[in-house]
Each structure stands twice: as C-alpha cells, then as structure tokens.
Structure 1
Amino acid sequence: MRPPFRSILVTIVLGVVFFRCDCEIVQFIFGDSLSDVGNNNYLSKGLAKANLPWYGIDFGNGMPNGRFCNGRTVADIIGDDMGLPRPTAFLDPSLTEDTIMQNGVNYASGGGGILNETGTYFIQRFSLYRQIELFQGTQDLIVAKVGHDKSQSFFQQALYVVALGSNDFINNYLMPVYSDSWTYNDDSFVEYLTQTLQTQLTLLHGLGARHLMVFGLGPMGCIPLQLVLSTTSGCQERTNKLALSFNRAVSKMVNDLGSQLPNASFTFGDAYDVVNDLISNPSKYGFNNSDSPCCSWGKIRPALTCIPVSKLCKDRSKYVFWDEYHPTESANMLIANELIKKMGFNKTSLTQAPTASPAVSPSPQG
C-alpha cells in the first residue's frame, strides 16, 4: 500500500482566458492514494484498493468509496471550502462529457508515482505520465463536444492539483528490489524526481493548465508503518530528510517554472512542519494518538490494510492515522485548513482572470 503524507497542496492564481466559457470552474486532480477517490477499485488486477469496510465509514452512506481514509481527503476538504464540485474518478462508469464539464476529473491512483517504475508490485496503478495521457484523452472528448475555442477556455480556467512523490521513495527508492535504490544516491534521486516532475508540469501547461497546485510531502518516516519497522521505534530520520530535500527542490522548481511559462500561476504548498508538529504533539491539536492506526488488527502489526475484521478505535477524531499509511479525516481537516490559511484559497480568486494564450499539446513521454 502506499504511504500517507506526501503530498499536500498548493497553488492558484489566474492565467487568462482568451475565450469566455459559460462553464463551471472545475478541478483536475493528479495524485496517489492520498487523493484517489475510486480509480483503483476499477483496476481488476490492482493490489492497492480501498474497497472494503471500514474505509469510507464517515463519508456519505458509510460504504467504501475508493478513498484510503475513513472520510474526506485533503483535496476534498479544500475543494469543498472553495465551493468547487468534487471531481469524478476517471474510471467511474458515470463519467461523461457533461460530468467532466460540471465536476472535473480525478485521475489519482493509489500506488502511483512521479516515476513510471514506482509501485510496480501493485501490478496496476496509474503513474503521473499515465494520468497525463488520460487527461489528454479527456480533452479530446471535450473538444469533440464543444469545439476547440470553448474547450480551451474551459481547461485554462480550471484548477489543477498535482500531489505525488511519497510512493517514489517508500515504494521505490527505499526498497532494494527496485533498481533506483542502487542507481542513485539520496541527492541524485531527489534531482531525478524533480527533473521528471518539471517535465510533467511543463506538459500539463502545454495542455492548458494555468492554475496549478503542487502538494509537498509530509514526514513520511513517521507514518505508523515506518515506526513499526524502525529499529528504534522512532521516526525514520533518513526518510524524513528525503521528504524535506524533495520539498526544497520542488518548491524552487515550481516557483521558477511558474515565472518562466506564459500565463502560469504555479504554487507549491508545504504542510510538513504542521504535520510533523501534529505527530510530535498530538494533544496540542486535540488528538491523543499519532503513532498507531485507528483501524488495525489489534496487536498484530503492521496491519497493512483496513478490512472488515479489523478493530476500530473508540474515537476516530482523536487519531492522526486511519491505517498504517494514511491520515484520518480529522487529520486531513487540520492539514487542509493549514494550507487554506497559508495560501488564502477561495473561489473568488479563481474567477478574475480574463485572458490566455493558446495551448499546445505535447505528448507525454515515458
């Protein structure tokens, strides 16, 4: 399964739209299990799924919905706060051209990474390159429905969220079964990841992405799974240092890229410090447990996933982690609120840009 804190948000501003569009501002979300809202449930051979109770117990009808959480994701919460519709999972059978234009699309896939090679032992998952290819297919559908000019305006007004990276470390580089673990050292792997992500963000810009939010990583070395596997029973410091290095490198890259690409409003959101403080001082935020999952197999650790025979904690609002990898909705709300406060998100800020340059459509590589 994949880890949890990775990615946490960030960006907005307004590009410009050359053609006015009588359509809602929607989101297109690219990510991993922290943002997946059901895509992996439709991957018949995929091993990373949240399709059994007690996932989703605090969302809607309480049944599993594909979110690796008891409730909402960080992206859900931020979008709700901004008054934006929740994007439909790309593989959801109900997805049509109309729902795309009304709600946007979520391409996130549990186990997916920035790199194509990440998470291969999950058998099926969408890497970021694959998610961008799926987005290109979405654009073709909308162009066929409303024409080039109106579709260009629609895509340039949309908000884009990119939230991946933790799997590239925990389910790739830090596992000796992957060649990346011996091909690179810590510094060169972070550089490789950052350069790959830069290429991918440039591709998205070429496809019309003007308002782009990139999530940074949290303290990956402090998730329950890493604590259980630690020889000291504490956070894995090397893993946390890699997250910090990634955040520094990607923050600079995103800011530089946003200033270089035409009409680009790219922003990087970093919630590492607040998440780290939440884990270190849970009582400060109203939590009483930050080192074990709410949904577990009792004393059998690691539990890896939450299943119907798992035991639930008495009060889910007091636990930082839902399973061995992912935060609870309560923790996600704290993280989302921190990002909203830092970035000043609101729907009004998305509606004030009047113009934009035509988009080109490069093909994803890799």
Structure 2
Amino acid sequence: MKYSMAASLLIALTILGVAMDGCHCKVVQFIFGDSLSDVGNNEYLSRSLARANLPWYGIDFGNGLPNGRYTNGRTVADIIGDHMGLPRPPAFLDPTLTEDIIMSNGVNFASGGGGILNETATYFIQRFSLYKQLELFGGVQELIRQKIGPTEAEKFFQQSQYVVAMGSNDFINNYLMPISGDSWTYNDDTFLIYLVGTLRNQLKLLHSLGARQVIVFGLGPMGCIPLQRVLSTSGDCQQKSNNLALKFNQLTSKLVMELSNTLPNASIRFGDAYDVVNDVISNPSKYGFDNADSPCCSFGKIRPALTCVPASRLCKDRSKYMFWDEYHPSDSANVIVAKEMIKKLGFGKVNQAGAPSPQPSLAPSDAPVAAPAPSPNA
C-alpha cells in the first residue's frame, strides 16, 4: 500500500512537471514595453495600424524578413538579454507559445503604440497598454501555476527578470498631439504627475504579481527622432519634447528608488541612456555614424513616412545611420544603448549555458533593391 501511494505521488508530480526537489527552472525574462521592445505581438493584432510587417523591417535579422521588430536588427532588450545569457522571450501572441516555452524562454508582452496610459495612441486601433500587458501576465501566471503548482510557480516568477520600457508614446502619440484629450486636460507638470503616478500603481501591481528583479528604462531625447525634427521648420530637435523626457526620467528615477526601498524584497532599478543617446546625436562621428538626424529607410523626399514600405529606399550603409525609420533606432544605435545599460547597471551572466543568437550582418545596402516577400506571420 505504501509503495502504491508513493508511486502514485511520483506519477502525479511528473505529470505536473515538478521534480521531487523543486522546479529547477532557469532564469527567464518578462518584457513589458512598446515598439522599441515589440517582437511580434502587433503582427497578430489584425486591426492594428502599428505593425512592422513590411519590408525592410528585419532585413539584418535571421532570414531578413519582417519579424515584428521595428528596426533592421535587434532591440535593446535582445542585446542585453544575449549578454546576460537570457533566452529571447517570444511574443505573447505567438500561436506556438506553451507553458513549457514560457518556463524556458519567458514572454514578451511589448506592443507597438502601447503606453503607460490606456488612452495613449487610440488611433492605432489595436495595441496593448501597460495595464493590458500586466493583465495578460496574470493569465500567464495562472497557466504556470496549473502546470507546476503554486509554490514552484511563485519561485519561478520571483527569480525571473522583468523589464518595463514605456513612456514615449504617452507623449508623442498622446499628450503632444493637439487632438488628444490629455493635451487639453493637463499642462506639462500635471500630465507628468498623472503619468508617473499611473506608472507607480503599475509597478506596485507588478510587484504584487511576484516580480522582484525589475529594470525600468527611461526615455531618450525623443524630440530628436526624425519624426519630431521634420515637424520643425529648421530641422532641429524639439526642445519641449526633450525637456519632458528629462523630467519624466527624473521623476521615474525617484519613483524607482522609493519603491525599491519600500516594497518587500524588491530590487527595482532605473536605466537611463538619455545622455549617451544625446551625445550620439550631437557627435555622431565619435560613435561611427555618418547620420543621426534622418532615417535610413525613407520614401524619398516624402516625409514623414511613418513606416518603411516596399518602395522605400535604404541608405547605402545601415551601420552608419542612428535611426532606422522616423521613430525607431537602428541595430547599431541599439547596440550603443544596450552597452550603456550593461555598464551602468552592471549586468552579468545569469544563465551560463546556451549561446546567444548571432549578430546581424550589416552589409552596405545600395538602394533601391528588390524587396523580400512579407513574412508568413505578418
């Protein structure tokens, strides 16, 4: 009888995927963000107007086809994760996602156009706000609890790494747009209080869901992206936008320090790359760039073209351009930002096993060239 009961227990534990001495799950990461971190979620939102499903996106990544990333190569999160030995988490909406994949690779909830505020970028029709991403994370947690049990699931989520990288859309695609209700409701100071106060509640919610190791990324000089420059008659950076980014970073840095000191067992850190990005823009040749004010992928003299399109022309050498399109940095720029974060935050290896995916080959591109066929998943 005792043998029978022990055998039954062992079978039950095996079915649940729990070893007798614990889960032994490796460290993975869960990413919450916008188009700077999206790896394909918006590709599965059929009505979304914020999608990176056209050539030339992804030209320097894998097979060169669009893969959901809003750049020619890797995101900052890709590069930092590779450095730390973390697997690249798949998009939450990837139809192949399973509990086993979640425990082996984590999940990326980032969504192009997403913001801290629910009302941000509503004209994109479909996108995941940060509150929606946290809701989806709660659903993922329930799946894992059912898979390995509540105790091991708690350990798994508490040892995982978390990235929160949002905020630029709340300004560029909300507050700074005259048609936005928030632009009429708030001034600069009250909007920042509203925005950072909302982020405070979201970070506390993330902590209540078990997140302990959290990195919150700040904003770069968003007034210097090509889309903002083209709105100026002089082509210069929009200083108002940059000032808002600096103030957001200041308030968010204080918030992160406060929460890290008051929430139980929390390690919440702030990643600020504003200065290095601003230096690249001011001194591009110092970092190996020929251009830091216009996109590599553009539709000739017709600007702003918000996305790359099959008829777009590419710069001759993608590694020499800081910006890939009107909004987003190139792979080369993302490498600089990632290295700055690694240095400032002291990121080291977490998982020793497993090699990172290969870096893209940034061969010079002579425009125009034939566009690759769209990805089957686009």
Query: Does the TM-score normalized on the shorter chain lie above 0.5?
Result: yes
Equivalent residue number for residue 96 of structure 2: 94
Shift of 1:232: 2.6
Aligned residue among 292, 295, 302 for 1:293: 295
SS where residue 320 of structure 1 aligns? strand
Equivalent residue number for residue 347 of structure 1: 349
What is the correspondence of 1:249-260 to structure 2 with a 5 Å cutoff? 249-260=251-262
Number of residue-to-residue matches in the alignment: 332
SS where residue 230 of structure 2 aligns? helix
Contact 1:20 1:153 in 2 (8 A): no
Aligned residue among 162, 166, 170 for 2:172: 170
Any idea what the Cα deviations from partners look like across 1:85-125, whole Å, max 9, x if unmatched? 00010000110000000000000000000000001000000
SS where residue 88 of structure 1 aligns? coil
Any idea what the Cα deviations from partners look like across 1:35-74, whole Å, max 9, x if unmatched? 0000000001000000111000000111100000000000
> How many angstroms apart in 2 are the aligned matches of 1:342 and 1:165?
21
What is the correspondence of 1:1-366 to structure 2 with a 5 Å cutoff? 21-348=23-350
SS where residue 89 of structure 1 aligns? coil
Shift of 1:301: 1.2
Please tell me the residue identity of whatever aligns with 1:37: V
TM-score with structure 1 setting the length: 0.89
Which consecutive unaligned segments of at least 5 residues does structure 1 have? 1-18, 351-366
Please tell me the residue identity of whatever aligns with 1:139: Q
Please tell me the residue identity of whatever aligns with 2:81: G
> How many angstroms apart in 1 are the aligned matches of 2:283 and 2:327?
19
Shift of 1:231: 2.8
Shift of 1:348: 4.2
Which gives a bigger RCO, structure 1 or 2 (Cα 8 Å, sep 6+)? 1
> How many angstroms apart in 2 are the aligned matches of 1:78 and 1:20?
28
> How many angstroms apart in 2 are the aligned matches of 1:51 and 1:292?
21
SS where residue 267 of structure 1 aligns? strand
SS where residue 229 of structure 1 aligns? coil
TM-score with structure 2 setting the length: 0.87
> How many angstroms apart in 2 are the aligned matches of 1:289 and 1:125?
31
Shift of 1:347: 2.4
Which consecutive unaligned segments of at least 5 residues does structure 2 have? 1-20, 353-378
> How many angstroms apart in 2 are the aligned matches of 1:70 and 1:144?
38
Any idea what the Cα deviations from partners look like across 1:115-150, whole Å, max 9, x if unmatched? 000010000000000000000000000001100000
Please tell me the residue identity of whatever aligns with 1:259: N
> How many angstroms apart in 1 are the aligned matches of 2:46 and 2:121?
16
Contact 1:288 1:319 in 2 (8 A): yes
